[in-house]
């Protein structure tokens, strides 16, 4: 039984000595033709290429962005009120602006750098105080003018002594 040979595949040729010829390697995959040159992006060289498929990436993906400090809303309100106080309810709006400014300053200090707006707070305080001082000076001037007019001895008859009412 020593001359038994392993069973052969009938599709494989036999050289008669029981040896199979070496199997040639499979043919290599065809090489694709070189790709066409890519035109430069619309923004010029160095600009990022347009997204694949023409769609922007979904939000939440990509490089995470660090949160930026936000401007305190009360600081903005204080600045707007201090400016508006020059036209509408001068003293009342200026005092309300000062209240909002002090509240905003406390919130900005407690935020640990996450809120900004100290410039708005400072500007609101300056504008509101100037308005309050201006209104006080104007009020004092107005009161003095009223007192001067009332204490003046001139009346219509003293200004126009020849005036006589028509007695028809």
Judge whether 28 lies within some domain: no
- Look at residue 162 and tell me whether its pLDDT is greater than 80: no
Judge whether 92 lies within some domain: yes
What pLDDT, in 10s, does the model give residues 114-146? 999 999 999 999 999 999 999 999 999 999 999
Judge whether 136 lies within some domain: yes
Please tell me the distance from the alpha carbon of residue 9 to that of residue 11, in angstroms, as a whole number.
5
What pLDDT, in 10s, does the model give residues 38-87? 665 555 556 566 566 666 666 666 667 788 899 999 999 999 999 999 99
Work out the percent of the chain whose per-residue pLDDT is above 70. Answer: 63
Judge whether 103 lies within some domain: yes
Helix residue spans in 50-89 (DSSP H): 73-84
* Confidence bin at 149 (pLDDT 50/70/90): confident
Please tell me the distance from the alpha carbon of residue 115 to that of residue 112, in angstroms, as a whole number.
8
Task: Tell me which residue of 149, 104, 150 sits closest to 125, measured CA to CA.
Answer: 104
Number of domains in the chain: 1
Query: What is the pLDDT at residue 144?
Result: 96
- Look at residue 166 and tell me whether its pLDDT is greater than 70: yes
Q: What is the pTM of this model?
A: 0.54
What pLDDT, in 10s, does the model give residues 19-29? 666 777 777 77
Judge whether 162 lies within some domain: no
CB 41 within 8 A of CB 49: yes
Judge whether 56 lies within some domain: no
Judge whether 50 lies within some domain: no
Three-state DSSP class for 86? coil
Task: Tell me which residue of 118, 137, 126 sits closest to 83, measured CA to CA.
Answer: 126
Q: Which domain holds residue 134?
A: 71-151
């Amino acid at each position: 039984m020593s001359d038994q040979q392993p069973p052969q595949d009938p599709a494989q040729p036999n050289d008669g000595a029981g040896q199979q010829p070496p199997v040639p390697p499979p043919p290599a995959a065809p090489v694709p033709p070189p790709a066409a040159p890519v035109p430069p992006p619309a923004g010029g060289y160095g600009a990022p290429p347009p997204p694949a498929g023409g769609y922007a990436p979904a939000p939440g993906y990509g490089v995470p962005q660090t949160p930026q400090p936000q401007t305190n809303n009360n600081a903005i309100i204080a600045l707007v009120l201090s400016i508006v106080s020059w036209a509408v309810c001068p003293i009342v709006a200026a005092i309300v602006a000062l209240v909002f400014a002090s509240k905003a300053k406390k919130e900005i200090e407690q935020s640990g750098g996450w809120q900004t707006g100290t410039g708005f707070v400072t500007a609101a305080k300056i504008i509101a105080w100037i308005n309050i001082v201006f209104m006080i000076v104007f009020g004092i001037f107005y009161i003095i003018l009223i007192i001067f007019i009332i204490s003046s001895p001139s009346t219509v008859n003293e200004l126009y002594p020849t005036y006589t009412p028509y007695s028809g």
